[in-house]
Amino acid sequence: MSDRIMGGLGLLLALFFIWQATLIQESFISDPVGPKVFPIIIGVLVGISSLAIFFKPDDEPEWPEFSRLFEVGMTVAVMVAYAYALPLIGFVVSTAFAAGFLSWRLGTPPIKAVIAGVTIAVGIYVVFHLILGLSLARGPWGF
C-alpha cells in the first residue's frame, strides 16, 4: 500500500512539476531548447516511474507504530524550533536544549539527558568556536 501511495503522490508531483514548467517565463535571450524542456523531460521520467511503482508495488516496508512516528514528528518540530531559536538565544543554550531532547528520546534517563545536552553543546562550542574559530550563532549573552 505504501508503494501505491508513493506512486500516486509521485504522479501528482510529476504533473504539478510539468504544469509549473510550462509556466516558466521565456527570456528574450534563448537557445533552441529553452528553460522549459529539460524540466518537462524530468517530469515525464518521474511520472512514468511513479506509474510503474503504482502498478507493481514492492512488499510493504515496516512502519513503526504510531507512538514512534509521533516521536519522529516531535523531533522534527524540535529541530525546526532549534533553527528558529539559534539566532535568538544563541548557540549554547539552544543546542543544549535540542541535544538533550534528542538524547532523552533516544533512551537516556532525563537527568543524564540534561547533562548530555549541556556537555554536547559546550563540547562543540569549545572545539569548533574556541579552538577552530568557527563562528556560531550568538545570542543575547554572546554564546
- Minimum Å gap between C-beta 108 and other proteins is 5
d(CA 31, CA 114): 59
- Minimum Å gap between C-beta 61 and other proteins is 5
Instruction: Please report whether residue 135 would count as binding other proteins according to CB under 8 A.
Output: yes
Instruction: Please report whether residue 12 would count as binding other proteins according to CB under 8 A.
Output: no
Q: Residues 51, 103: contact at Cβ < 8 Å?
A: no
Interface positions, 22-61, toward other proteins (CB under 8 A): 24-27, 29-35, 38-39, 42-43, 45-46, 48-50, 52-53, 56, 58, 61
Instruction: Please report whether residue 92 would count as binding other proteins according to CB under 8 A.
Output: no
Closest CA to 84 of 73, 71, 98: 98
Instruction: Please report whether residue 123 would count as binding other proteins according to CB under 8 A.
Output: yes
Instruction: Give the C-alpha distances (Å, rounded to integers) separating 140 from 15, 88, 89, 126.
Output: 47, 7, 6, 19
Instruction: Return the number of the residue (23 or 141) whose C-beta is nearest other proteins.
Output: 23
d(CA 9, CA 50): 8
- Minimum Å gap between C-beta 136 and other proteins is 7
